[in-house]
């Protein structure tokens, strides 16, 4: 295993809603599982419950609401300015429900992560749990990926899958997937902050080795999961 980075990597988290993945990452930072510092949580929705989570943790928050700007380009420019104020090494999308334009994606290429509730490249976009049931899939899950200009199309880092059970509704399936999200997202963030994970030449590198495909949670050795619970 590569040595841990000697300093805590600065991070900014973008949210739009409840912030359960934000909470999982905050908890991992607080327990020193992640050698990083969340410098700000930024939401495009003033009512997002995740802002309250950040307040309780003493993390600065900001609201950048796209409804207050004349067009998306102006909003993207404003959001980029707010993010860059904190000089983050990593930008984390944790339920940020807007499609980012090039104004935001390009400057943070290789430094922006997203989590998507499907086993990418399957089921890009919205309503993945309902669509998984409608398609009769036997397994469903979540993927952490680097953000690219293509919606949910960036290089995938790690995935976790769950069985689709008889009698599942979109809500019950979503709840099962969410538990896995709370494991794999902090894990991917930890790898970045430890200096072990990088995007090079459009490919994911972990510990200096280009991955042939996404890491699968169930294939990880026990020491990788020593501080998280699947």
Nearest alpha-carbon partner for 83 in 17, 145, 11: 11
Instruction: Give me the DSSP letters along 61-127.
Output: EEE--GGGSSSHHHHHHHHHHHHHHT--SEEEESS--SPPPHHHHGGGTTSEEEEESSSTTSS-SS-
Local structure of residue 226 (DSSP, 8 states): T
* Residues paired with 118 in a beta bridge: none
Q: Which of 7, 55, 116, 205 is catalytic?
A: 116
The yes-or-no answer on residue 116 being catalytic is: yes
Residues involved in catalysis: 116
């Amino acid at each position: 295993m590569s040595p841990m980075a000697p300093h805590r990597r600065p991070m900014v988290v973008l949210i739009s809603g409840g912030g359960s993945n934000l909470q999982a990452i905050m908890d991992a930072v607080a327990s020193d599982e992640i050698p990083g510092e969340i410098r700000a949580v930024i939401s495009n929705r003033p009512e997002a419950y995740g802002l309250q989570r950040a307040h309780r943790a003493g993390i600065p928050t900001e609201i950048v609401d796209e409804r207050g700007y004349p067009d998306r380009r102006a909003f993207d420019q404003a959001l980029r300015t707010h993010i860059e104020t904190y000089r983050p090494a990593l930008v984390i999308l944790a339920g940020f429900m807007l499609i980012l334009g090039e104004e935001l994606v390009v400057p943070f290429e290789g430094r922006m992560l997203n989590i998507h509730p499907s086993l990418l490249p399957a089921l890009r976009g919205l309503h993945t749990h309902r669509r998984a049931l409608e398609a009769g899939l036997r397994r469903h899950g979540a993927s952490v990926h680097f953000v690219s200009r293509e919606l949910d199309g960036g290089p995938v880092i790690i995935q976790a899958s769950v069985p689709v059970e008889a009698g599942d509704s979109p809500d019950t399936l979503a709840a099962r997937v969410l538990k896995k999200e709370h494991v794999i997202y902090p894990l991917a963030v930890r790898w970045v902050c430890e200096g072990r994970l990088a995007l090079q030449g459009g490919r994911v590198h972990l510990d200096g080795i280009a991955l042939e495909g996404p890491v699968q949670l169930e294939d990880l050795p026990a020491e990788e999961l020593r501080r998280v619970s699947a």
